[in-house]
Amino acid sequence: MNDLIIVRGAGDISTGAIHRLHRAGFSVLALESERPSAIRRRVAFSEAVYDGSATVEGVTAVRAGDVREAAEMLGAGKLPLLVDPLGESIRRLRPAAVVDAILAKRNLGTTMDMAHLTVALGPGFVAGADVHYVIETMRGHNLGRIIASGSALPNTGVPGLIGGVGAQRVIHAPAAGVFRMLRDIGSVVEAGEPVGAILAPEGEIAVKTGISGVLRGVIRDGYPVTKGFKLADVDPRLEERENCFTISDKARCIAGSVLELVCVGRITPRGA
């Protein structure tokens, strides 16, 4: 498919790029794992893996059963999502562009020969060797910068500031077990309040927020986690509650850079 763009990963950052490309008229296929762990689930197309479909800002991704069904959906102008963590469908469909938006901080198998244009988001890739271009994902002055040679900034492990708060806004699993959700995305929470619990072999362990604010993201109820697993994200800006349900500024910035590269690569939107 000469106009097809395959995006590996459909979490909240990737969804920004998928959404922008689809709205711009490109044929887009999203690939995901069998058990996505997106925190900002209300703005992640990856939720289609569980629910069959996911709608973000008026665009709906629908889970396809196999490559053939995905191709049929693309032909009908729809946005399919396929469970294909290894990217096996890429060789079969021969897309014009591949965007690695898994954000694993390492390369999980994307190579430059997969398409006419290959792009990777964030660290773990070398532009000019692994892929044609890398896009910077770290918040700050260089967010969204297109890198034609070299790598993005290394992962610091420290969350970017939102409302002046960094590491404190992110909640991690205190133990391994199964997560039980007590408060959903968009809920106003107080510092020290339980937002969930871990059902561990040694008993139920409360998962509490360290700051007050709005629950910006929380992992799905019933998700199995390891100790230290990212569970939730609290936004201290109470006046920004609606942001829980819209694509973030970071995702939009990165999406713009992806769209720029696709346009520079002279990939033609469907119907053009």
- Specify the pLDDT at position 239: 83
d(C-alpha 20, C-alpha 43), whole Å: 13
Q: In this predicted model, what pLDDT tens digit does every residue of 67-106 receive, in sequence order?
A: 999 999 999 999 999 999 999 999 999 999 999 999 999 9
For 242, other C-beta atoms within 10 Å of its C-beta total 9
Q: In this predicted model, what pLDDT tens digit does every residue of 153-163 receive, in sequence order?
A: 998 766 666 66
Mean model confidence pLDDT for the chain: 93
Q: Higher confidence at residue 167 or residue 221?
A: 221
Q: Higher confidence at residue 233 or residue 268?
A: 233
d(C-alpha 187, C-alpha 104), whole Å: 28
Bridge-based pairing of strands 27-32 and 4-8 is parallel
Greatest Cα pair distance in the chain:
60
Sheet with 224-225: strands ordered across:
203-208, 194-200, 177-181, 224-225
pTM: 0.93
Q: In this predicted model, what pLDDT tens digit does every residue of 169-196 receive, in sequence order?
A: 899 999 999 999 999 999 999 999 999 9
What domains are there in the chain, each with its CATH number? 4-155+249-264 (3.40.50), 167-236 (2.40.50.100)
d(C-alpha 4, C-alpha 45), whole Å: 18
